[in-house]
Homo-oligomer: A and B are copies of this chain.
């Protein structure tokens, strides 16, 4: 079958489901691992005489996981009156006892480990009665679990899978900082709300920013997020708070495009990476045609989780753009990405160099403190044009400290407050010609000339 020619919605979705729905072998494996871990946890709980319950949550519990998914989330529920410190200590001890894990922190400590090929999280929480009165950040999760199990119909599970894979194809599946997209729980709620994958798309095509969506619980607060889906178990929480305006925008646009012409490439995008020579030539051609200047600033990648370094990379990008702008450079675009060993901020400038002279406007001449302005600039070394009057204001022509963006970055970046884990890394400033890795070239090209995942890329 020529998959490129499959554009009828039923054929497309049937084909995709055949690829993403867990097969019998996968199900058996998942069930076995879940049962084994649950038994081990329960055994330790009994052995240690703990008052605690084990609860499978997440997509395995709701049977909405994709065939290639490797995530298992197990919660351990402790009584509400247990002191916080004890809960955390016991939860961690338990997790460490049943698998070879490591301690991680989100808002709350938990144990993460690899177990028989699965990525397993063991998370302690309180067993509370009212999810609007949670004691720790994760206490709501069992309620989410219960809500989905109760409300998601059997035939909707595959619809959730289609939506998840569709979002994966767009690169906006997941609420983590590096993605800022749609969480699994949000996918399930969208299917519960609208009924099916296609109905979600039909609805999304009519969304706009700052839209409120809810099930039974009406909004309990005002939200400033691009997309707002009121948590059915807590009206003060926005399930979609992680969704960035660009993730939302891509979803809206992709929904429209898919409804117009469905295709497998929405779920499984075409390979966009170009070979070294082609990529290098394409970048050179872009720079020649656009006439802009590309400057890359890279930091070696710290050995921390993506969730910790992704926001720092964004911060570094913001700090670089701000400082370049303050120094007079015209930033047209900026973007950042992570490679295996380094993190890169790429800045597109109108020009790498600036005029030496810039005009600096001071107070109106009739303002008394204009004397200070005159004193400051009458004999300073960087004055190219002594104070003169323009439209009633004092203006002075000053010599820039830096006219070359690369030099400016190299000599000043050390003094700026970039992400704390990045500040100690090796920082390199370079231009397009110095990009040596094909992965980096492809990332730069895809950001410079973005194509949608369902579109072919031009060589």
Contacts and interface: CB of A to CB of B under 8 A. Distances in A.
A111 to B, nearest CB: 38
Given A333-B359, A351-B351, A249 B392 contact: yes
Interface stretch (A143-151, A182-190, A214-222, A285-293): A285-293
Contacts of A451: 386
Contacts of A249: 364-366, 389, 392-393
Contact of A359 (B250, B332, B385, B403): B332
A237 B365 CA distance: 26
A88 to B, nearest CB: 39
A290 B356 contact: yes
Given A333-B359, A359-B332, A389-B253, A209 B290 contact: no
A248 interface: yes
Contacts of A450: 385, 388-389
A391 interface: yes
Contacts of A365: 249, 252-253
A246 interface: yes
Interface in A205-250: 207-209, 226, 245-246, 248-250
A397 interface: yes
Given A252-B366, A351-B351, A351-B355, A245 B291 contact: no
Q: How large is the interface on A (under 10, 10 to 19, 20 to 34, 35 or more residues)?
A: 35 or more
A250 B389 contact: yes
A366 B205 CA distance: 8
A55 interface: no
Copies of this chain held together in the complex: 2
Contacts of A390: 246, 333
A23 to B, nearest CB: 36
A406 interface: no
Contact of A392 (B245, B290, B332, B356): B245
A240 to B, nearest CB: 15
B355 A350 contact: yes
A64 B293 CA distance: 64
Contacts of A386: 449, 451
A385 B448 CA distance: 8
A384 B248 contact: no
A357 B291 contact: yes
Contacts of A397: 290, 449
A354 interface: yes
Interface string A441-459: 0000000111100000000
Nearest to A357: B290
B290 A355 contact: yes
A354 B359 contact: no
Contact of A385 (B245, B357, B449): B449
B291 A246 contact: no
A332 B391 CA distance: 14
Contacts of A246: 389-392
Contacts of A358: 332
A356 B291 contact: yes
Contact of A209 (B248, B384, B392): B392
A351 B354 CA distance: 9
A394 B250 CA distance: 11
A245 B392 CA distance: 5
A248 B357 CA distance: 27
A291 B392 contact: no
Given A366-B208, A388-B450, A291 B403 contact: yes
9 contacts: A208-B364, A226-B392, A249-B393, A252-B366, A289-B384, A290-B384, A350-B355, A386-B449, A388-B450
Given A332-B359, A350-B355, 4 more contacts: A246-B390, A253-B365, A290-B384, A291-B403
5 nearest interchain CB pairs?
A290-B357, A291-B355, A208-B366, A291-B356, A388-B450
Interface of A: 207-209, 226, 245-246, 248-250, 252-253, 289-292, 332-333, 350-351, 354-359, 364-367, 384-386, 388-393, 397, 399, 403, 448-451
